[in-house]
Amino acid sequence: MIFQAGSLLLVIIGTYALKHLHVFGKRDYKIVQGLMMEIPDNRKDRVELLKVIG
Count the domains in the chain.
1
Give the pLDDT band (50/70/90) at residue 54.
low
- Amino acid identity of residue 36, one-letter, is M
Over residues 25-44, the pLDDT tens digits come to: 777 666 666 666 667 778 88
* Dist. CA 40–CA 22, nearest whole Å: 18
User: What integer pLDDT is reported at residue 2 of this predicted model?
Assistant: 77
- Determine if the pTM surpasses 0.85: no
For residue 1, the model assigns a pLDDT of 63
Question: Are 31 and 7 within 8 A, CB to CB?
Answer: no
CA-based nearest residue to 29, from 17, 15, 39: 15
Q: Return the percent helix, strand and coil in the chain, to nearest 5.
A: 75, 0, 25
How confident is the model over 4-29, as a mean pLDDT?
A: 79
Structural domain boundaries enclosing 10: 2-53
